[in-house]
């Protein structure tokens, strides 16, 4: 869905030595092209992954940036001119690309990592989980000292009158609407798979529609709070944390029913550097290295063993912290791959009414 702190150095060095056996050390002059989403996210990847890997192996990392558009990957694969060796994408896109045969099926034995140690890896044959980000509810404590405590407060315009921000997408909006209407997390996608469930979600959204300010880029949500245009808003957790940490904002995150999205590493089908792509992903997916990324951006590691390496001061700010995960909703990539087009059309029509 969109994008755009402290690990002991010895842990990262240990991880490098463990992941990269002597025979994997590359010759000077070798290179990999790794493409991601740019901005603060890719800057964090550069510090945690790209630069340490290049220093350890001698492999030159050439970075690419994109906005997640799958057409670029499809065009490369179809024309047999693949120039991206590793791509960071979201779980929804990975499901689509895998079904189309545009990315490699991951050989976990070749990767040398235990698939069972990765959250939600069983849902993805063609991807290696990288990290988790969350859509959360947030507010400005300076403007609203006694702010919302639960997701239900987003829909309570009597208790919290005023405008509220939501991402201009059916993703998360429909799930949150059903949860606020009493649907259990485990049943959300079962209900949303039915016409009655879809109607129920839109009916709940109708109750706040006139009070919603729709945002479309990650930077807009914290800006709406800072400007006082909304009393609360959905937002990506990394953006709110950044506003707190680097801009001095007195924002508060409500983790209740956070909606978890997952970023993954994929290998475009046909890259001439497939073996080298595997070596990089093995490094980037190792516990201490995934934990190292949390020093630069507040996204949770997907490797379950990484939590032990995360600075305890950072852990509470991650979507994957145990306290924050108590009633988290994991966004279903397969559901949105199957139903997304229809629901986006319905959502667009609903907005226009």
pLDDT at residue 14 greater than cutoff 60: no
Q: Which of 10-24, 135-149, 183-197 has the lowest mean pLDDT?
A: 10-24
DSSP state string for 173-212: HHHHHHHHTT--GGGHHHHHTSHHHHHHHHHHHHTTGGGE
250 with 348, same domain: the answer is: yes
51 with 80, same domain: the answer is: yes
Token pair in block for residue 309: 């390496």
Which pLDDT score is estimated for 313?
94
Q: How many whole angstroms separate alpha carbon 259 and alpha carbon 36?
A: 22
Which pLDDT score is estimated for 246?
86
For residue 199, the enclosing domain spans: 133-260+326-352
138 with 127, same domain: the answer is: no
**115: Cβ–Cβ under 8 A, 6 or more apart, which residues?**
108, 121, 122
Rg (CA), the chain: 21
184 with 283, same domain: the answer is: no
What CATH code is carried by the domain that includes residue 22? 3.40.190.10
Q: How many whole angstroms separate alpha carbon 147 and alpha carbon 132?
A: 26
pLDDT at residue 244 greater than cutoff 80: yes
Residues of the chain with pLDDT > 90: what percent?
85
86 with 208, same domain: the answer is: no
185: in domain: yes
> Band of the pLDDT at 240, cuts 50, 70, 90?
very high
200: in domain: yes
67 with 161, same domain: the answer is: no
2: in domain: no
pLDDT of 186-219, one tens digit each?
999 999 999 999 999 999 999 999 999 999 988 8
4: in domain: no
1: in domain: no
Q: What is the mean predicted confidence (pLDDT) over 143-148?
A: 95
20 with 115, same domain: the answer is: yes
φ, ψ dihedrals at 30, nearest 5°: -70, 150
19 with 112, same domain: the answer is: yes
How many domains does the chain contain in total? 2
149 with 290, same domain: the answer is: no
62 with 91, same domain: the answer is: yes
3: in domain: no
Which pLDDT score is estimated for 52?
98
79: in domain: yes
Which pLDDT score is estimated for 10?
29
62 with 182, same domain: the answer is: no
Which pLDDT score is estimated for 193?
98
pLDDT at residue 7 greater than cutoff 50: no
> Band of the pLDDT at 120, cuts 50, 70, 90?
confident
φ, ψ dihedrals at 255, nearest 5°: -80, -5
Which pLDDT score is estimated for 229?
97
77 with 194, same domain: the answer is: no
């Amino acid at each position: 869905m969109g994008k755009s702190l402290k690990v002991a150095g010895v842990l990262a060095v240990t991880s490098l030595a463990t992941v990269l056996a002597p025979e994997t050390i590359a010759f000077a002059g070798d290179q990999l092209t790794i493409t991601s989403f740019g901005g603060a996210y890719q800057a964090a990847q550069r510090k945690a992954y790209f630069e340490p890997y290049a220093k350890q192996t001698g492999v030159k990392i050439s970075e690419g940036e994109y906005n997640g558009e799958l057409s670029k990957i499809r065009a490369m694969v179809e024309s047999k001119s693949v120039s991206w060796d590793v791509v960071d994408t979201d779980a929804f896109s990975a499901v689509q690309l895998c079904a189309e045969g545009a990315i490699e099926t991951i050989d976990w034995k070749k990767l040398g990592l235990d698939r069972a140690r990765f959250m939600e890896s069983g849902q993805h044959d063609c991807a290696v989980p990288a990290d988790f980000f969350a859509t959360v509810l947030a507010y400005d404590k300076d403007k609203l000292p006694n702010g919302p405590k639960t997701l239900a407060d987003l829909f309570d315009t009597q208790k919290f009158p005023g405008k509220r921000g939501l991402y201009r997408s059916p993703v998360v909006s429909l799930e949150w609407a059903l949860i606020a209407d009493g649907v259990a997390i485990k049943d959300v996608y079962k209900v949303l798979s039915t016409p009655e469930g879809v109607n129920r979600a839109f009916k709940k959204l109708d109750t706040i529609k006139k009070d919603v300010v729709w945002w479309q880029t990650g930077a807009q949500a914290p800006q709406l709070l800072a400007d006082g245009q909304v009393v609360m808003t959905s937002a990506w957790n990394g953006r709110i944390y950044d506003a707190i940490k680097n801009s001095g904002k007195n924002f508060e995150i409500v983790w209740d029913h956070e909606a978890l999205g997952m970023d993954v590493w994929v290998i475009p089908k046909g890259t001439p550097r497939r073996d080298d792509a595997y070596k990089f992903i093995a490094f980037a997916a190792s516990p201490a290295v995934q934990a190292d990324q949390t020093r630069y951006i507040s996204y949770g590691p997907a490797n379950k063993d990484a939590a032990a390496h995360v600075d305890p001061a950072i852990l509470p700010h991650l979507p994957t912290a145990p306290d924050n995960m108590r009633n988290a909703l994991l966004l279903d990539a397969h559901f949105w791959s199957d139903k997304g087009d229809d629901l986006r059309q319905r959502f667009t029509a609903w907005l226009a009414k």
